Structure 1
Amino acid sequence: MKPDTGRLDSYGLVSRGNDVRLQQDPVAQREYFDLILREYLSFCATSRSVGDLRDTFEGLGYRGTGPGQRRASAAAGRTSTQPAAASRSVSLGAGRGAADRGAAGARGAAPTAADPAGRETLVRRRQLDDIVMALRTLREAVLASPPCALAKSVLLLSIRVTVLLGHYESYLPSMLQLLDTVHPVLPLSDAELHEVVALYALHLVHFANNAAEAYAVMDKYNVRDDLPLRQIIAAMVDCDYVLWRRRYVGETDPGRRRMMAFGERNMTRQTLKRLGMAYFHMPVRDVERLTGWSWDDCVNVLGCGWRLEGDRVVMRERKTRPPAGGGAGGATAAAAAPAASGAANGPPADAAAGAALPATAPAVVPPAAPKPAVRAVSAPAAPPARAVSAPAAAHAARP
């Protein structure tokens, strides 16, 4: 009986050794790739709009976190954040920033089949899981053979799908295999190479926190003329949260934006840190505008310990000086004032009259310093007179 090959779970993983049919049949590989592509396009076609599709990928994405995000996730207790519709509106990037907050909540909260929205979420998540697993199965099958055009297409599709999900366990091996193994044999086009290198560089900066390697990869593959990419990396290295936030909000490529999302939590934390050093208090709407996060998310996700008083966020308390008069502080200041003025104008009158000195205190006269001995210096002796003969004297006196 011929097995059913019209489903995504028709083949097993080559790495587990339980199914090698796909590895040995190039025709089956092509058919399986076409099946995966049809399923992926069908999944995208069920979305109502491009924005809804982007929110779907962000909401169904994997909860992979970089080194700088694990501490924040642990501090937040891995609890779900509030949905964007229930949180305060954010004026800077209101649409996309709010969508990211809602996506974080969708990842944190487990959907249930009790409500229709939960059932739809579970169905779509299962579809994405099947597509990702099928891509892994096909990737393992084609990599066992020498590089070919099908292998390049499979790796590119795997990168483009799993990058939108933030599934670094899938897109990172595909990037490395494509750049190190396939590209030297079957060169990528300029657009494909630029796309893969840019995504890999953003992954290195925002997820692995390795800007030096990102610059090295860009120089190796001659991707130097991408000014927005270089500005994003420089802003991440310099903690320039204003430039980074501007680029993040204005990014139109969904893959790049998903890579930058790995570093959003760290950059938001840097923003809060610098605001706390520069201001004592600030309106809450300005905090949300500069960070791109709602106040509830700053408290629940990032663990911000500032105090909210009405519409104002109190970051630091001012240190007040003690009052000049009244109370114990005033008495101390009043007692210290005459002493200070007396020290400035000379001794007080009673001290000058000898009231503060003992009556029998003898006057102590310091001994005079000995004068240095003067050494007598004799005058220099006059030179001896020169004897002049009489004829010479007469000749000198002659007119």
Structure 2
Amino acid sequence: MSHFEVLAGNKVMVLGKPLTAKDVAETLSLGMKKKTEPFTVMSLKKVVERYREWECEMPGIKPYYAVKCNDNIVLLKVLANLGAGFDCATKAEIDMIINENIATADDIIYAHPIKTPEFLKHAYNLGVPRATFDSKEELCKMKALSPEMEGILRISCCDKTAERQLKHKFGCDPTKDVTKLLIKAKELGINVVGVSVHVGSRCCDPSAYERAIIHMRQIFDEGILIGHPMKVVDLGGGFPGIYNEKISLAKIGKCVMAALQKYFPEKEKYEFIAEPGRYFATTPFSTAAKIFGRIEVPANRITDNENDANKIGYMYYINDGTYMTFSCKHFDGIHPIGQPLTNGNDTNEELFPATIWGPTCDSADLVESLTYHRKLNIGEWLFWDEIGAYSISTVVEFNGFPKAKLYYFADDETM
């Protein structure tokens, strides 16, 4: 049995027993035989599970969720109810958090080192208490537009294994630039209350956080000597949404907690925060797309291997693509791997090389360049799990194709 509840203005299907996202999607697809749009399902339970894991592995470190990663209002509301703050980078994100009654200004950090003047003034007028900076120019901007706003110094300390490096765009040098920025802030009357870092997106080396914490300790000591009320240790983002043998939150947490104990042992003196995005957004969202076209081609057209010229391959065209939910391919370097939503009549059927194309006229709208499936039929659904980061928030309606419809589900225990 199931019933519906309303959260943030959206219906949530509450199930009597836990079901996987694939189970829910398969059930929904049965009623969509004539539907032409793709759909996405969100598990509220997975958000709660991720938050509980964070509390276990990163105790005492408050997460400020990076709204840009996925600004779905139900996700934001669940995180707020669990106790998260919010990392906002624009006026629209700040307004969404406040105007939708998700959280108050005190629960927001304006985490953009180079802020649009209009946005900065707006945030200041709303009472957002803190913003990051990494240059003297930004300090002058804050003095002019948000004179009472506290500053958090953003340093560059990027892990070489990270898939997305941020050091070229944001962050001052932790050894060469810090002193003059702390002095400049003091001259301008801006209180620097802490230090933030971003080790890079999908960092694969947990020790990168320890190296950042060492720099933070040195900067704290220098800031205190200059007269700044240093208290905020901001570990930034880079936390993984999908784990592998190299990285997980448990591995990061073990390294972080040991480093904080060593370099910031008097915990009551400090405020420990972080800015995870994909860590919370990835796993709760799964998507399903319908095949509307199938073409049989020589397999070498797909595999690029001339030995496959006499073999069969298939190109499938689905109603979702890289301008839509699969925009994560471009914006986050993710390469999702789908599976048939239903197994079909025979799970031992022959597998053929296949390409999965999105619906637009753009040849770059390529969801999967090479995969293997049984012969799939027009009207069948394909399913992708763990696709919530930098996907829904970066969707456009290029070529006039509609966005995926969202469905929410949870179980009695979660609600």
Judge same fold: TM > 0.5, yes or no: no
| TM-score of the pair, normalised by structure 2 | 0.24
**Bigger strand fraction:** 2
| TM-score of the pair, normalised by structure 1 | 0.25
**Bigger helix fraction:** 1
Asked which structure has the greater RCO (Cα within 8 Å, sep 6+), the reply is 2
- Which structure is larger by alpha-carbon Rg, 1 or 2? 1
